[in-house]
Chains A and B, each alone.
Chain A
Amino acid sequence: EDKVVQSPLSLVVHEGDTVTLNCSYEVTNFRSLLWYKQEKKAPTFLFMLTSSGIEKKSGRLSSILDKKELFSILNITATQTGDSAIYLCAVEASGAGSYQLTFGKGTKLSVIP
């Protein structure tokens, strides 16, 4: 059974801090790993990673995948209160059971002024 574990489950930081969110996975026939941000509504897409060692970057957010060690990290630099949200990691597998996403429980990030 595919499994995604995120850590920490919750995190409180001050504005301006840098945070690193972790995601480890066990999946048969890995296809991709995705990061989503969820505020009080639907998850919104952040990154999709398929290859090891290639950093994806968008503004203050960046992410990288290690397919050998089966984990990914999401970095947020110079955090702002608007970054407060639940960050979800999901993996997609190819083959039987493909195309569905298996999500972790999420990391709840709270950024205080």
Chain B
Amino acid sequence: DTGVSQDPRHKITKRGQNVTFRCDPISEHNRLYWYRQTLGQGPEFLTYFQNEAQLEKSRLLSDRFSAERPKGSFSTLEIQRTEQGDSAMYLCASCLAGAYEQYFGPGTRLTVT
């Protein structure tokens, strides 16, 4: 399978714990995006990378969230001191620079209890 992959697919954690998610984009794609989706809503932009550079972060992204893409390939999204409001599906997408369509991974569903 050469699509976008994400790990884990599901994560249940207690409030206050830290969690980290991984995204592996399509290999030749140099742009990588993170989105968050809650029930009944469309995906909401969090941040994006071009190669290893993080070029934009949503104003809605709290300081508890951090993302990295150290070698311009896979990316990680960490949430520190999780809160119940962080419960959502976290989607990763990738595309080629200059392309319009983003290809999405299967998502990581986070439940904070």
- Chain A residues bordering chain B, tally (CB within 8 A): 24
A42 to B107, CA, bound (A): 6
Which B residue sits closest to A50, measured CB to CB?
A: B100
- Residue B101 at the A interface, CB < 8 A? yes
A-B CB contacts (within 8 Å), total count: 56
Partner of A41, one of B33, B40, B55, B107: B107
A105 to B41, CA, bound (A): 4
- Residue B65 at the A interface, CB < 8 A? no
Partner of A101, one of B45, B56, B106, B107: B45
Q: By the criterion CB–CB under 8 Å, are B100 and A42 in contact?
A: no
Q: By the criterion CB–CB under 8 Å, are B56 and A105 in contact?
A: no
- Residue A84 at the B interface, CB < 8 A? no
Q: By the criterion CB–CB under 8 Å, are B42 and A42 in contact?
A: no
Q: Point out residues on B near A: beta carbons under 8 Å.
A: 4, 31, 33, 35, 40-45, 48, 55-56, 58, 91, 100-107
For the complex of A and B, the 6 pairs showing the least CB-CB separation, nearest first, are A103-B42, A42-B104, A100-B45, A48-B100, A45-B101, A32-B100
